[in-house]
């Protein structure tokens, strides 16, 4: 007998397929293979990913809740647009979420948390040293290490919801961050900004660390939309 959920029998295989569909679609959105505002047709996606229509729709619904796509009409979907207003909204939310998560992480963090920050920074720095200018956003291994570093700063935060919100908002900013990364002409400039941020967090100076993190988050907005940086 299948296990019961609040809505009736639950099919673990269907859950796995819908998760896979969400993962594949998300990957193509953030990589730019599915451009902003493009329509996501179920038939085309089913053929593209070789996944049935039902788990595809479930996967798309998961991405709607994460802000990467929007629902239109009768169960239709489009990739979310990019705009200054959207990035501003993401940045506002990231600032609220991450500054509070950072405060809690600094208050609760132990030696293991500090070691995690040092280790993730070292891994990212070594990867950049090996790859040179190819460190720019878009390479899967760099993307993983970059997110891991930012996650490590907040890892001691005891709120799972704050950490989940950080992860989702980080991913929503990805398409904008790819544009921002082109502004770094030297890898040292990028590495230095993250070393400075880590140093302030490890010093456990909450106010200074929050101020630096806020400036770091707003840098994407200021670089991608330089004519309007009053936010």
Model pLDDT, residue 134: 66
Question: SS in 3 state form for the chain?
Answer: CCCEECCEECCHHHHHHHHHHHHHHHHHHHCCCCCCCCECCHHHHHHHHCCCHHHHHHHHHHHHHCCCEEEECCCEEEECCCCHHHHHHHHHHHHHHHHHHHHHHHHHCCHHHHHHHHHHHHHHHHHHHHHHHHHCCCCHHHHHHHHHHHHHHHCCCCCHHHHHHHHHHHHHCHHHHHHHHCCCCCHHHHHHHHHHHHHHHHCCCHHHHHHHHHHHHHHHHHHHCCCCCCC
pLDDT band at 190 (very low <50, low <70, confident <90, very high): confident
Model pLDDT, residue 124: 94
Model pLDDT, residue 151: 98
pLDDT(180) > 80:
no
Q: Which of 20-34, 148-162, 176-190, 215-229 has the lowest mean pLDDT?
A: 176-190
Cα 69 to chain centroid distance, Å, stands at 14
The mean pLDDT of 27-46, rounded to a whole number, is: 86
| Residue whose structure tokens are 């799972």 | 160
Cα 72 to chain centroid distance, Å, stands at 24
Model pLDDT, residue 12: 56
Is 178 or 103 the better-scoring residue by pLDDT? 103
pLDDT(165) > 70:
yes
Percent of the chain with pLDDT over 70: 84
């Amino acid at each position: 007998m299948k296990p019961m959920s609040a809505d009736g029998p639950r099919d673990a295989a269907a859950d796995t397929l819908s998760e896979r569909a969400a993962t594949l679609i998300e990957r193509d959105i953030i990589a730019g293979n599915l451009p902003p505002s493009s329509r996501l047709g179920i038939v085309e996606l089913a053929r593209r990913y070789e996944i049935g229509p039902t788990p595809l729709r479930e996967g798309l619904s998961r991405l709607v809740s994460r802000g990467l796509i929007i629902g239109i009409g009768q169960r239709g979907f489009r990739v979310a647009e990019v705009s200054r207003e959207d990035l501003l909204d993401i940045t506002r939310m990231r600032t609220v979420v991450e500054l509070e998560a950072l405060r809690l992480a600094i208050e609760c963090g132990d030696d293991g948390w500090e070691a995690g920050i040092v280790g993730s920074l070292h891994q990212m720095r070594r990867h950049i040293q090996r790859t040179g200018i190819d460190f720019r956003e878009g390479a899967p291994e760099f993307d993983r290490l970059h997110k891991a570093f930012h996650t490590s700063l907040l890892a001691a935060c005891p709120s799972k919801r704050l950490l989940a919100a950080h992860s989702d908002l980080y991913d929503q900013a990805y398409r904008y961050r790819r544009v921002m990364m082109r502004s770094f002409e030297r890898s040292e400039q990028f590495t230095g900004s993250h070393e400075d941020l880590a140093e302030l967090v490890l010093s456990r100076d909450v106010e200074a660390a929050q101020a630096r993190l806020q400036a770091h988050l707003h840098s994407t907005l200021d670089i991608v939309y330089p004519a309007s940086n009053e936010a």
